[in-house]
A and B are shown apart, each in its own frame.
Chain A
């Protein structure tokens, strides 16, 4: 059987045929990019929680503040990716929504923690 240019790739790729190039991507780099987004979002949710606790937000305004912080984070991450999402990720949802609810838990934890003062 003809094998052709067998490329010994260390990074596993998901590929279909050569025409639909969007399906083929370097999964190892994609995972690394996802980790970067996850760290950024988690850290900023914790910081947002501390700030909401200091400012004394109670009730719905706190969640509004969290959405605001996450929106600014998404915009900043998009700017970090130089606005060409498709060269670093496969879908938009990853940049915008990944880590959103995990960050929400951290936010609520650090938001309600200073209220004992």
Chain B
């Protein structure tokens, strides 16, 4: 999380630097009265690098995907509460057949 955030900030800073360079380039073109066809090649490379950094940050920072499947291992519903003092087991649930394969979620 921290690393992804740092990479994102670096990407945004690179984009800001590219924007500043383009603004300077444009004002130079205004002085020489030429048409702005596109930023110089270094700025394009900088934009590409900044885009890659921001893409990587956008995919890692928001968080992981959690499984939606209800029967997967990380979506366990069976869990014991922390206070076992008040739990009784001597009830009518004995009449139901128990599944031996139940695992506890911590």
What is A's interface to B at a CB cutoff of 8 Å? 4-5, 7-11, 13, 15, 21, 24-26, 29-30, 32-33, 35-36, 39-40, 43-44, 47-48, 50-51, 54-56, 72-73, 76-77, 80-81, 87-90, 114, 117
Contact = CB atoms under 8 A, between A and B. Distances in A.
Contacts, number: 102
Contacts of B44: 55
Interface residues of B, number: 39
Interface of B: 8, 11-12, 15, 18-19, 22-23, 26, 36-39, 43-44, 47, 50-51, 54-55, 57-59, 61-72, 75, 77-78, 96
B47 to A, nearest CB: 5
A56 B23 CA distance: 11
A57 to B, nearest CB: 10
Contacts of B51: 47-48, 51
